[in-house]
């Protein structure tokens, strides 16, 4: 196996000291431009690679940023990562992507590994199982910028970038009311997480503002997957006074709901309307496209990166920002063609 080229090899080739080579590679002002150019050209010819970790230890800056998400294979999180990279790469930063699989222990280990790697900052979405905050406090103690996006924990000194989930839940429910629905169910995922709690509260507020009574039997706790959506509809349609619409906090559960309604012979949207949340790619390409709330994940990623860059400009200041993006309702076929339903209700 071929050994890596060192600064000593370059020094020997040029008949200068290793210290001179090191200073030239690190743009030391004591080194002449001619010497610096010669050393850099020789290093390239010899395929020399600087030890980035050693440079990080020496300079205190690695130009690496850790991005931690629950899952990489979800369009929402991959779009956020895209936004972060698009914002940071032109500024000379490289992104280290990690996933926790919703495992608190793995999240703690990941954060520690990123600190060990001397990253310049950590941008992350918290695992839904996370309760302890000790690993976050360790990040703050190390003076490493920490920015939460989407799923957050309220910690003094930590900036956050979120969407207005309350407003998202409100506009989704109001849309169904405007379409003539009066018995609106809600499929939530985990009310222990703020994002789902706020969507639920937005749903309740919209009902209240329009004089529609809240019914506990219309609230279904599900997972964020298709099978869970199918099970939710099976349960709801067995009720004596079954709902005529559902606002799902997950697009995947919304898809499952539509599939089950189709199996039951219920016409969507004329007899039953469906609204999801996230604007997953599949929602627009289905024959029966799904109305959903867009979370602007790319913009969320860009904003999280901008908050980090702002903190890097003033490392001695304790900058704490709370950025909240506005959701957008994307109306599609699963709730928009309600002519027959509206006429029935008139």
In a domain, 55, yes or no: no
**Does the reported pTM lie above 0.75?**
yes
Are both 188 and 235 inside the same structural domain? yes
**Residue 242 belongs to a domain with what CATH number?**
3.40.50.2300
Q: Which residues, in sequence order, are CB contacts of 127 under 8 Å at separation 6+?
A: 70, 100, 102, 103, 104, 106, 107, 151
* Per-residue tokens: 167: 């407003």
Are both 286 and 245 inside the same structural domain? yes
Count how many domains the chain has. Answer: 3
Are both 78 and 147 inside the same structural domain? yes
In a domain, 169, yes or no: yes
Determine the structural domain holding residue 235 and report its residue range: 165-295+330-345
In a domain, 57, yes or no: no
Rg from Cα positions in the chain? 26
Are both 301 and 289 inside the same structural domain? no
Are both 31 and 118 inside the same structural domain? no
- pLDDT per 10-residue tile (average), the chain, 346 residues: 78 89 82 89 84 55 91 93 96 94 94 93 93 91 93 91 97 97 95 92 98 96 92 96 96 96 96 96 94 96 96 77 95 76 37
In a domain, 42, yes or no: yes
In a domain, 1, yes or no: no
Separation between Cα atoms, residue 73 and residue 87, nearest integer Å: 21
Distances (CA, A) of 127 to 99, 196, 292: 9, 14, 24
In a domain, 288, yes or no: yes
Considering only CA atoms, which of 179, 210, 206, 174 is closest in space to residue 341?
179
**Residue 19 belongs to a domain with what CATH number?**
1.10.260.40
Are both 88 and 130 inside the same structural domain? yes
Residue 288 near residue 254 (C-beta atoms within 8 A): no
* Per-residue tokens: 230: 């199918």
Are both 232 and 313 inside the same structural domain? no
Q: Which residue has the tokens 């992507």?
A: 97
Are both 134 and 206 inside the same structural domain? no
Considering only CA atoms, which of 87, 119, 56 is closest in space to residue 298?
87
In a domain, 28, yes or no: yes
Are both 141 and 187 inside the same structural domain? no
Does residue 184 sit in helix, strand or coil? strand
Distance of CA 248 to the CA centre of its chain: 19
Are both 232 and 310 inside the same structural domain? no
Separation between Cα atoms, residue 328 and residue 179, nearest integer Å: 17
Would you give the DSSP letter of residue 210? T
Are both 140 and 206 inside the same structural domain? no
Separation between Cα atoms, residue 133 and residue 154, nearest integer Å: 10
Are both 174 and 240 inside the same structural domain? yes
In a domain, 309, yes or no: yes
């Amino acid at each position: 196996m071929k050994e890596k080229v060192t600064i000593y090899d370059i020094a020997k080739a040029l008949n200068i000291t290793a210290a001179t080579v090191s200073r030239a590679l690190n743009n030391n002002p004591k080194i002449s431009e001619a010497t610096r150019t010669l050393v850099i050209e020789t290093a390239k010819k010899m395929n020399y690679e600087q030890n980035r970790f050693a440079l990080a230890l020496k300079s205190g800056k690695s130009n690496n940023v850790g991005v931690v998400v629950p899952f990489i294979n979800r369009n929402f999180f991959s779009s956020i990562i895209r936004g972060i990279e698009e914002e940071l790469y032109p500024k000379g930063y490289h992104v280290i992507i990690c996933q926790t699989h919703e495992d608190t222990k793995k999240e703690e280990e990941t954060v520690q590994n990123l600190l060990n790697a001397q990253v310049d900052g950590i941008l992350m979405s918290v695992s839904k199982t996370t309760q302890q905050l000790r690993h976050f406090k360790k990040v703050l103690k190390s003076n490493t910028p920490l920015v939460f996006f989407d799923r957050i924990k309220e910690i003094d000194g930590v900036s956050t970038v979120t969407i207005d989930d309350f407003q998202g839940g409100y506009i989704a429910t109001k849309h169904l009311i405007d379409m003539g629905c009066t018995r609106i169910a809600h499929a939530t995922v985990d009310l222990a997480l703020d994002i789902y709690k706020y969507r639920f509260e937005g749903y309740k507020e919209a009902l209240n503002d329009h004089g529609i009574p809240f019914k506990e039997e219309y609230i279904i706790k599900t997972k964020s997957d298709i099978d869970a959506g199918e099970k939710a509809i099976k349960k709801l349609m067995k009720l004596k006074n079954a709902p005529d619409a559902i606002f799902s906090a997950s697009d995947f559960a919304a898809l499952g709901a539509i599939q089950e309604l189709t199996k039951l012979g219920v016409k969507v949207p004329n007899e039953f309307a469906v609204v999801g949340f996230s604007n997953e790619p599949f929602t627009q390409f289905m024959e029966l496209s799904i109305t959903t709330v867009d979370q602007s994940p790319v913009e969320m990623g860009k904003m999280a990166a901008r908050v980090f860059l702002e903190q890097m400009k003033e490392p001695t200041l304790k900058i704490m920002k709370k950025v909240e993006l506005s959701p957008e309702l994307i109306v599609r076929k699963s709730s928009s063609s309600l002519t027959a339903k509206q006429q029935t209700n008139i």
